[in-house]
Each structure stands twice: as C-alpha cells, then as structure tokens.
Structure 1
Amino acid sequence: WLQNMLGQVLDALEYLHQLDIIHRNLKPSNIALVSSNHCKLQDLSSEVLMTHKAKWNIRAEEDPVQKSWMAPEALNFSFSKKADIWSLGCIILDMVSCSFLDASEAMLLRKSIRSLPGGLRSVLSTMEGRRIPQAKTFSALLPQMLQPEPSERIAV
C-alpha cells in the first residue's frame, strides 16, 4: 500500500515538476486519499502564495509544527523541485517510523535532520531491527531524499 501511494505521489510530483511547478507545501494533510488505493495531491495554491516573501513569513510563523516537513532551504524562502523531494522524504519517514515514534518525537526528528543528517541513522537502524516491511529499501532511499544540501538530494 505504501509503495502504491508513494508511486502515485511521485507520479504527481513528476508531472508538476515537468510543468515547472513546485508544490512548496507537501505534507501529509496535502495528500488526500480518494479511495483505499488512490490518492491526490492538494493545496497547489501554495505554489502561488509562497512566491510572496511577506506572506510566506506570516505562514512560517503561524505554526512551526506544520513547517517541520519543509526542506531546510525552504525555511529561508528558497524553493526548488528538490524541496518537494525533502518533504516527501519526511512523509515517508513518518510512515515507516510511526510504530515506534510518537508525534512529538517524529516532529523533533524531522527538524533535527535538517542540520544533523546523521540523526537519521538510529531511526533507520530501529526500522531494520523491528523488521519494518521494506526497511532496507527505505534505509537506502531516505538518506538520499533527506540530504540537507539540495544539490546532493535525489530528484523524482
């Protein structure tokens, strides 16, 4: 199921990125389940809203928890397609670690890996130790998605 949803989100991001559209606000609440095996991206208005720095500063101050899925550079009003990859990496990280991290631990992890990418190692080790399905796949993928430096991050 997770791989199916991930594939759909990646397809949607690839389509947007081909149109030179950056979502800019990818987070779990912006992935809508429309059936048990189909999802859609929503809140594309952020692509327009977040081109205005003053409006962005207001939104960034509203709820820092909601910004924990944002790439390090996005917090400084620098957006690229790679910022969407970071956000998707955070969503995947949440999904594969939800059985052993509570919501506040997950938020702290998302925030800490912006400056301490090595913090991901212990979570990936725990995933493998708990035999999370596809843990090896996610252990290979997540460090490539969650690189603090955008140029080192993988693309869709």
Structure 2
Amino acid sequence: MDKYEIQKTEPRGTYGFVHIVKRIEDESTFAMKVVEFMDEATANRAMEETMIMLKLDHPNICHYEEIFVSWDHEVSAVTVCMVMDYSPVGDLASVIQTKRQMKRKIREMVIKNFLGQMVDVLIYLQSKHVIHGNLKPTNIQMLADLSFIICDFIFPTFVGDEVKFKIRMKDYSKVWMAPEALKRRLIAKSDIWSLGCILLEMMTCNMMDVQNSFPLHSL
C-alpha cells in the first residue's frame, strides 16, 4: 500500500470496496479493489485464484496491474488488494440512467456491437477457464472511445463467506444474478444469464423491478 496514495473510496459492495488511488512513483491513477478475509490462509488462497487476472489479455477485459495481500488496520482484517485500470468516463449503469432520465433508448446498433464484443469476451474467458461471476452494468466501465471493459471479477474464495454475502448483498444486485449465483455457486452459464439481463435493461433503459425479477429464478 505504500506505493499508492488513496484519492477517494467508493461505497462498499458485497465483496469489498474500491479505492481510487494514485501511484506515487509516476502519478498514474488506478482502481484498487480491496477484499477482506478472516485469516491469512484464506487471503493467500484468494490471491492464488486471482493471479490468473495478470495473464489475461483482451481489449474488453480490465488490465490488472498487480495483486497483493495486505493488512487493513481500520477493519482489522487481512485483505487482498487488486490494482487495475481505472476509467473516469463512468460505467454502463450511468449510461442507462442518463437514457432513462431523457426518456430515450440506446441505439440498436450500439446494443448489437456490445453483444458481439461481450460474446467474444465470454468465449475468451471460457478458453482460460475463468468465470466473471459478477456481471452487471456497474462492473462494465466505459472508455473514452465508447468501447468498454469488464471489471470486478469474483472468485470461489470470495463467495465462501456466507455471512458477508447475506449482510452486504443488496437487493438490486440480485437482479442480474443467475439462480445458482444466488446460492453462491459460480459456473460459466451464470455469466450468460447476467448478460441477458444486461441486454434487457439496455434495450428498455428501465431498471427491472427486483420483486418482478425473482420469479424468473424459480423457472
């Protein structure tokens, strides 16, 4: 952590929180995902799982700069810190929200291009035996050239803490989750389910009602 200076901290999510940091050496800006664990052994196991991210090379996948284990004095917990690219442009959720407020829809060609790139991303991840596990509009960062990168992957050890999952999981996050993901199981098909939910929201520019979406999980 000594290499970085924290600029701001985003609201806490289910699996941790994100600092926007500046690397002191060259003043480069990154997003640092911080995930807390009960003990060092679990944190080390989680870090081993996430190391695959350093090897991924795809234009629509967030680049991970480095991953390390640290001690967070504020929460008195061992943490895994993942330093990754940061885009100040915003995320897909903000794009959808803007369209919703303007009572407009996203152009069909844009959605088709997005779908084509996302399918290519998921095929690439499958070839590397990697599951995103947390696909939703807030985890799709928009870039200045109007392309996008997916970020905030989760891994088996991340979802092993049932107490954290139940306490921190917000209802609106469940809208994009497949049935098995709600039971903290990660499989490749879960990402396809989430992509379908994202496409539906992009096509309508309406936030799906949580209560209305839950019956879908029982099908």
The TM-score range, normalised by the shorter chain, is 0.5 to 0.7
Q: How do residues 33-112 of structure 1 correspond to structure 2 at under 5 angstroms? A: 33-44=142-153, 46-47=154-155, 49-50=157-158, 52-54=159-161, 57-62=163-168, 63-98=170-205, 101=206, 103=207, 105-112=208-215
Provide the rounded CA distance (Å) in 1 between the counterparts of 2:201 and 2:212: 9
Q: Give RMSD over aligned pairs.
A: 2.0
**Share of identical aligned residues, percent?**
35
The total of aligned residue pairs comes to 109
Say which one has the larger Rg. 2
Check 1:97–1:20 CA distance in 2 against 1; reply closer, same or farther (3 A cut).
same
After superposition, give the CA deviation of every residue in 1:1-51 in whole Å (9 maximum; x if it has no partner): 11111211221121111100000000001111113531111112x13553x
> Structure 1 segments of 4 or more deviating over 6 A?
none
Provide the rounded CA distance (Å) in 2 between the counterparts of 1:43 and 1:85: 16
Instruction: Please give the secondary structure, in 2, of the residue aligned with 1:32.
Output: strand
Between Structure 1 and Structure 2, the one with more strand by share is 2
Between Structure 1 and Structure 2, the one with more helix by share is 1
Check 1:84–1:57 CA distance in 2 against 1; reply closer, same or farther (3 A cut).
farther
Check 1:13–1:57 CA distance in 2 against 1; reply closer, same or farther (3 A cut).
farther
After superposition, give the CA deviation of every residue in 1:65-100 in whole Å (9 maximum; x if it has no partner): 1122110011112211000001111101111122xx
- Structure with the bigger RCO (C-alpha within 8 Å, sep 6+) is 1
Instruction: Please give the secondary structure, in 1, of the residue aligned with 2:217.
Output: coil
- Structure 1: gaps spanning 5 or more residues: 116-147, 149-156
Matched, 1:9 2:115: no
